Amino acid sequence: MRHSFLFVLLFLGFQALAQQKVSYSIQLGKMSHDQLIVEVKPPALKAGPVEYCFPKIVPGTYANYDFGRYISNFKALDASGKELKITKKSVNQYVIKEGQKIAKISYAVDDTWDSPEIEGEYVFEPAGTSFQADTLFALNTHGLLGYFKGFEKMAIELEISHPKNLFGASSIKSIQKGNKDLFRAQNYQEIVDAPILYSVPDTLTLTLGKSEVLISVFSPNNTINAEQIAEKIVPLLEAQKNYLGGNLPVKRYAFLIVLSEQLKNGNFGALEHAQSSFYYLPEGNIQTLGQTIQDVCAHEFFHILTPLNIHSEEIGNFDFIQPRMSQHLWLYEGLTEYAAHHMQVKYGLTDLGQFMSTIQEKWQTMHMQFNNEIPFTEMSKKVLDTHKDQYSNVYQKGALLGFGLDLTLRKGSNGTYGTQDMMRDLAKEYGPNKSFKDDVLFDKLVQITGQAGLADYFKNYIAGKKELPLNAWLNDIGYGLRDKHEANENPTYSLTLGFDFQALSINSESKRVYIGAEPGINEFGKSLDLRAKDELISVNGLPLDISNFVKSTEEFIQKIRVGEVFDLEIARPNGQGGFDIYHLRAPFERTKVDAQNTIYELKNPTEAQLKLRKDWLRS
Ligand SMILES: [Zn+2]
């Protein structure tokens, strides 16, 4: 027989719960040397060494960031304030030998946006941190908070004291007491999945169906406000709700938006979380920025489906220190990007012309910037190292793969079944806590869609390197893609610097703009001997810096006359890890612009083509 009183169990249970948490505190008002101090109180630890880790990588980013790089002055103190012995195991890992003695850990943190002196991989701003006293604290908490190894599932409390004029917006509702906000989470993954944006409040909350939506905006010159952004987001979320089957799958969602006067690294975008998304965008007004906000918000919100709800084990059992990559970036990023645009055209937020120009741009960019000989599954698996320069192709080829898959499914079901239905069916099998095995996804999709022909689609275009049959896909809905012959019939001419803007990428190490691939170089560029991977330095002495690239080139084109001297200074990789500098010179001339690869509507589409188009767009 075994007998105990229930209240004993409850009592012990409560006590255990009350003790078992990790508490962090940060004082935003107390910055020195642009650093914040983080203090951590551990749970009761057993005798022996314990490891305190900072993430190498975080979910939704497909790059190694090593957030430990931004940590300094790391100390572990016992109850009497004496420093305990620590050893640094790697850039991200600190080992404290006598774990049981730790009363407090403290360290200083630099922000990622503004610490060029810290070497290594550039951290995409939406995944990073920015500390600007009195105006802005962009707190992606994974850039500040570490975890005790083995205690990742333990409850978390984060106390932030802030200057009076700042408000902290986040998907986690804080408990506010004076200038202190308390954020609670069930575990480490949950707290780092909820970025916090402190700024002078331009914030509003709206209710959509059963969901509460928070919008918080930081616009340094007040060129745009939360209300204007809400006007874009509300119809978008309505459409999204319908696209997802009638319900917004979250009770609370936060759009945290930081606008920047100058994009320091030439990049902008956002990062998705389960109940929020964090944006870093160029500052503009609602006219210039409206469509971008709509596109980026649609994309981030759709991540609710994948990878946040539907993902493989690599993503589901996320390892912050030793990440493993999945083969299915085409699904997580590609299909998400496609759905963001398909949803907009389907529910009338954009028109078909706009949709087709998006597809055309993706097709051209894919050819001008990326190596499409690499099977997409392989690129995905090796995106952290070998193929990291190919990552952005997920938004080009990845989205086109989604488009092709949707039309292939529609064609195979007499118009009745598409990727939207496929994702709904997939969600019935898997969920946030039930991951799929990376290797079985293709078979699973064949099975749930009942379309045997999909196996070839996956084999040829996603796991293989066969050229995407975009023209055939477009034909199915009464559109076409101009080939070389058709393009030569009506040539057009234009003034360029020898390359197409869509061919341009940024080298985050050299901080220069470069030409991605050969097809991005036009006839004038070829006559100059411009080559793929050439990095641009100046034109006729005018610097071509990342931050003013567009403006400089526009002004230059307006000023220069045909026949005048044109001198393009470039840095060309010399094959030994360095660069050689060249001046490419020629008299300036007009260039024939390639009309190849442009999309047009067929003049006399058939009944079948029009029917499939209608089915594909039917809401
Ligand atoms: Zn994404």
Task: Return the pLDDT at 527.
Answer: 92
Task: Return the pLDDT at 9.
Answer: 42
Task: Return the pLDDT at 493.
Answer: 84
Interval between CA 66 and ligand 1 midpoint (Å):
20
Interval between CA 248 and ligand 1 midpoint (Å):
18
Extract the tokens encoding 154.
């333990």
Task: Return the pLDDT at 517.
Answer: 87
Interval between CA 299 and ligand 1 midpoint (Å):
6
Interval between CA 104 and ligand 1 midpoint (Å):
37
Interval between CA 106 and ligand 1 midpoint (Å):
34
Q: What is the mean pLDDT of residues 194-221?
A: 95
**Cα–Cα distance measured from residue 19 to residue 508, given in angstroms and rounded to the nearest whole number:** 45
Confidence of residue 415 (pLDDT cuts 50, 70, 90): very high
Q: What is the mean pLDDT of the chain?
A: 92
Extract the tokens encoding 151.
């205690």
Residues 572-602 as b or e (16 or more Cβ within 10 Å = b) = bbeeeeebeebebeeebbebebbbbbbbeee
Interval between CA 587 and ligand 1 midpoint (Å):
43
Interval between CA 39 and ligand 1 midpoint (Å):
32
Lowest mean pLDDT among 63-72, 300-309, 373-382: 300-309
Q: What is the mean pLDDT of residues 226-245?
A: 93
Q: Is the pLDDT of residue 80 over 50?
A: yes
Confidence of residue 247 (pLDDT cuts 50, 70, 90): confident
Q: What is the mean pLDDT of residues 210-223?
A: 95
Could you please report the per-residue DSSP string of 390-453? GGGGGGTHHHHHHHHHHHHHHHTTTTS--HHHHHHHHHHH-BTTBPBPGGGHHHHHHHHHT-TT
Interval between CA 93 and ligand 1 midpoint (Å):
28
Amino acid at 577: G
Share of the chain above pLDDT 70, in %: 97
- pLDDT tens profile 105-164: 999 999 999 998 999 989 999 999 999 998 999 999 999 999 999 999 999 999 999 999
Interval between CA 88 and ligand 1 midpoint (Å):
34
Interval between CA 298 and ligand 1 midpoint (Å):
10
Task: Return the pLDDT at 265.
Answer: 83
Q: Is the pLDDT of residue 13 over 50?
A: no
Confidence of residue 214 (pLDDT cuts 50, 70, 90): very high
Interval between CA 336 and ligand 1 midpoint (Å):
7
Confidence of residue 19 (pLDDT cuts 50, 70, 90): low
Q: Based on the number of CB atoms within 10 Å of its own CB, is 187 exposed (0-12), middle (13-18) or buried (19 or more)?
A: middle
Interval between CA 395 and ligand 1 midpoint (Å):
8
Q: 307: cis peptide before it, omega within 30°?
A: yes
- pLDDT tens profile 145-160: 999 999 999 999 999 9
Q: Does pTM top 0.85 for this prediction?
A: yes
Task: Return the pLDDT at 502.
Answer: 83
Interval between CA 193 and ligand 1 midpoint (Å):
15
Task: Return the pLDDT at 16.
Answer: 41
Task: Return the pLDDT at 14.
Answer: 41
**What Cα–Cα distance (Å) separates residue 422 from each residue in 103, 272, 340, 419, 426?**
52, 22, 16, 5, 6
**Cα–Cα distance measured from residue 531 to residue 521, given in angstroms and rounded to the nearest whole number:** 7
Interval between CA 296 and ligand 1 midpoint (Å):
9
- pLDDT tens profile 438-495: 999 999 999 999 999 999 999 999 999 999 999 999 999 999 998 877 777 777 788 8
Interval between CA 306 and ligand 1 midpoint (Å):
9
Task: Return the pLDDT at 3.
Answer: 53
Q: Is the pLDDT of residue 545 over 90?
A: no
- pLDDT tens profile 263-286: 878 889 999 999 999 999 999 999
Interval between CA 244 and ligand 1 midpoint (Å):
17
Task: Return the pLDDT at 15.
Answer: 39
Pick from 213, 198, 192: nearest CA to 160: 198
Confidence of residue 102 (pLDDT cuts 50, 70, 90): very high
Q: What is the mean pLDDT of residues 210-238?
A: 95
Interval between CA 371 and ligand 1 midpoint (Å):
20
Interval between CA 216 and ligand 1 midpoint (Å):
20
Count of CB atoms within 10 A of residue 166's CB?
20
Interval between CA 428 and ligand 1 midpoint (Å):
22
Extract the tokens encoding 176.
């506010």
Q: Is the pLDDT of residue 18 over 60?
A: no
Interval between CA 116 and ligand 1 midpoint (Å):
26
Confidence of residue 12 (pLDDT cuts 50, 70, 90): very low
Q: What is the mean pLDDT of residues 550-567?
A: 89
Interval between CA 272 and ligand 1 midpoint (Å):
7
Interval between CA 331 and ligand 1 midpoint (Å):
10
Q: Is the pLDDT of residue 11 over 90?
A: no
Interval between CA 327 and ligand 1 midpoint (Å):
15
